Structure 1
Amino acid sequence: MTEPLTEVAPSVVLGTPAGARPSRSSGRSLSNMPPWVGGVLGVVLIVAAWALIAVTPFGRNGSIPTPLAVVQLFGKAFGDSSYWQAIGATSLAAGEGYLIGNGIAIVLALIVLLLPRTEGFATQLAVVTSCLPLTAIGPLVAIMSQAGTRVTSVFLAALSVVFTTVIGAILGLKSANRTQLDVISAYGGSRFTQIRKVRLIAALPSLLAALKIAAPAAFLGAVLGEYFLVGVDSGIGILLLNAQFYNDATRVWVLALTSGAVAGLAYFLIDRIGRLLTPWSAGDRTGKASF
């Protein structure tokens, strides 16, 4: 009885279907694809779904324009100086708020590092800034600010980034290697020396990740702040209000996509800067980061 079994066993092994190998190779080929391929496929699927919904009863009332109509209006907007002026005005306010909010957040993180007892106050303050409804704060700031200024837009942009940067900076500054800190202390170094020599370098990955997330938040906060401005006639938020007033759904979609594109561009640029400054934490095994 043993001989037939021994003879059958090799035949069973050799007769194994070869269909498993192609599945492995196909899985490997999918995993070896560049990351941008998945992004392109995702965009294609989203646009296809958008075009399909636009021709269904959900989009026939005009609230969802077709991708072709949006692209055509984009082409007209590119030649309109007011369109670029609006992008520049909103981006300037967002950049100012981005610098102010992140500056406040980094100062709070450094205070926590020098005075550990203030950590509870700093984190609670950061949580409060993230929990405050911007639509409720905006009108209050607009009332207190002078007409014709962009204080509200800058304020909401700054408020939108404090929480993310405070948490990222504190976590980064605390992630320093304890042995390196002890070495500096053993040689008579102060806390400022520890911050300058060790903690700031250790905090870079977390801090840059927080700054990367804060960039789109600052821009969208600036756009929202323009809804409450008085005496200002330029900005993406102003154009959105105008398009909503005239019930121009296509223009609203163009401006909304423009806001997303600018916010995404800010995210991308800071991500590239982070890869150049901290290649060891950017997932680049070669240690080199390039555009």
Structure 2
Amino acid sequence: MPDLRPLLAKPWVGALAGIVLIVIAWWIVSIPYVKPSGRPGAIPPPWDVAKEAIGAVHDQVYLTAVGHTSLEAMWGFLWGVVISMAMAFVVVIVPRLDSFIMQLGVVTSCIPLTAVGPIVSLMGKAGDRTTAIFLAALLCIFPTLIGCLVGLRSASATQLDVITAYGGGRVSQLRKVQLIAAVPNLIAALKVCAPMSVLGAILGEYFLNGVESGMGILLISSQASNNSVRVWAIGIICAVIAGIAYALIALLGKLLTPWAAGTDTPAGL
């Protein structure tokens, strides 16, 4: 009998087994919700949802919505990363502002999105997607700020002392040493922020005015029509979008920091 232990030790085998168990549990839970007419109820069977999600690949309505939401998430992600990195740089260059900057970061993570969304929506014009971009950026600021600060502060004290000995200041230390040291931690934070930006964009679409396309808009219309299969399919599609965003950042991290993943040694070391 062949030894299956090497195969079972592979990460994808455990992930596949987990997915199979989730689908089986989903199917079992969905059985009581099937209506007497045979139509799915609040929890539809997984194959009905899979059929709807697969059909979305050829549905222009879904494709347009995915495009708009992905674009909102991307812009929100970029704005959130730029703002949080700027805040982290200020802390490193002007340490006395550490407490103030951290308080701002905490506020961005604690402020309720359902309260901010309507306010930002009222400030924008009809048909403007600023609210979705704003909420996507808001969700990215605190994790990126913490990851960037941890990375910047992980720089070697010896290397920082060398910069100081040669007459360099905090800006030189940041540019020559700390930025490089911060890359692994920053990438780890960005992997968390990528799916969160998708969530922020979808939530932001709930407050948009004069906008007819987006995954959040589809969720609202599907809920209003009591189409449970479509609601679940949209949820699966949104999860796939978030997963792709996470995977892209993880791939970028492997390319930029192979030494952090243990796959290679950077040149010169």
Q: Which bin holds the TM-score, normalised by the shorter protein? A: over 0.9
Q: Is the 8 A contact 2:53 2:236 kept in 1?
A: no
Provide the residue aligned with 1:247 in structure 2: 226
Q: Is 1:114–2:98 an aligned residue pair? A: no
| Deviation for aligned residue 1:195 | 1.2
- Once residues 216 and 53 of structure 1 are traced to their aligned partners in structure 2, the CA distance between those partners, rounded to angstroms, is 27
Cα displacement string for residues 191-228 of structure 1 (whole angstroms, at most 9, x for unaligned residues) = 22211111001100111111110000011100000001
- Once residues 208 and 110 of structure 2 are traced to their aligned partners in structure 1, the CA distance between those partners, rounded to angstroms, is 22
- Which has the higher Rg, Structure 1 or Structure 2? 1
Query: Normalising to structure 1: TM-score of the pair?
Result: 0.85
The one-letter amino acid of 1:37's match is: V
Provide the residue aligned with 2:169 in structure 1: 190
Cα 1:59–1:268, aligned 2, differ >3 Å: closer, same or farther? farther
Given candidates 38, 42, 48, the residue that maps to 2:24 is 48
Q: Is 1:34–2:34 an aligned residue pair? A: no
- Once residues 286 and 114 of structure 1 are traced to their aligned partners in structure 2, the CA distance between those partners, rounded to angstroms, is 32
| Deviation for aligned residue 1:239 | 0.5
Task: Map 1:145-156; keep pairs closer than 5 Å.
Answer: 145-156=124-135
Larger RCO (CA within 8 A; separation ≥ 6): 2
Cα 1:31–1:224, aligned 2, differ >3 Å: closer, same or farther? same
Task: Provide runs of 4+ in structure 1 moved above 3 Å.
Answer: 58-61, 285-288
Unpaired runs of 5+ in structure 2?
none
- Once residues 285 and 273 of structure 1 are traced to their aligned partners in structure 2, the CA distance between those partners, rounded to angstroms, is 14
Q: Is the 8 A contact 2:127 2:211 kept in 1?
A: yes
Provide the residue aligned with 2:77 in structure 1: 98
Cα 1:242–1:32, aligned 2, differ >3 Å: closer, same or farther? closer
What SS does the corresponding residue of 1:161 show, helix, strand or coil? helix
Alignment RMSD: 1.7
Provide the residue aligned with 2:254 in structure 1: 275
The percentage of aligned residue pairs carrying the same residue is 50
- Once residues 41 and 59 of structure 1 are traced to their aligned partners in structure 2, the CA distance between those partners, rounded to angstroms, is 26
Provide the residue aligned with 2:57 in structure 1: 78
Query: Normalising to structure 2: TM-score of the pair?
Result: 0.92
- Once residues 27 and 110 of structure 2 are traced to their aligned partners in structure 1, the CA distance between those partners, rounded to angstroms, is 36
Q: Is the 8 A contact 2:205 2:216 kept in 1?
A: yes
- Once residues 186 and 56 of structure 2 are traced to their aligned partners in structure 1, the CA distance between those partners, rounded to angstroms, is 36
Task: Map 1:161-200; keep pairs closer than 5 Å.
Answer: 161-200=140-179
Unpaired runs of 5+ in structure 1?
1-24
Provide the residue aligned with 1:10 in structure 2: none
Task: Map 1:125-144; keep pairs closer than 5 Å.
Answer: 125-144=104-123
- Once residues 103 and 198 of structure 2 are traced to their aligned partners in structure 1, the CA distance between those partners, rounded to angstroms, is 24
Cα displacement string for residues 31-56 of structure 1 (whole angstroms, at most 9, x for unaligned residues) = 9711111111111110111111111x
- Once residues 113 and 258 of structure 2 are traced to their aligned partners in structure 1, the CA distance between those partners, rounded to angstroms, is 36
The one-letter amino acid of 1:53's match is: V
Cα 1:202–1:286, aligned 2, differ >3 Å: closer, same or farther? closer
Provide the residue aligned with 1:208 in structure 2: 187
- Once residues 42 and 107 of structure 1 are traced to their aligned partners in structure 2, the CA distance between those partners, rounded to angstroms, is 40
Provide the residue aligned with 1:19 in structure 2: none
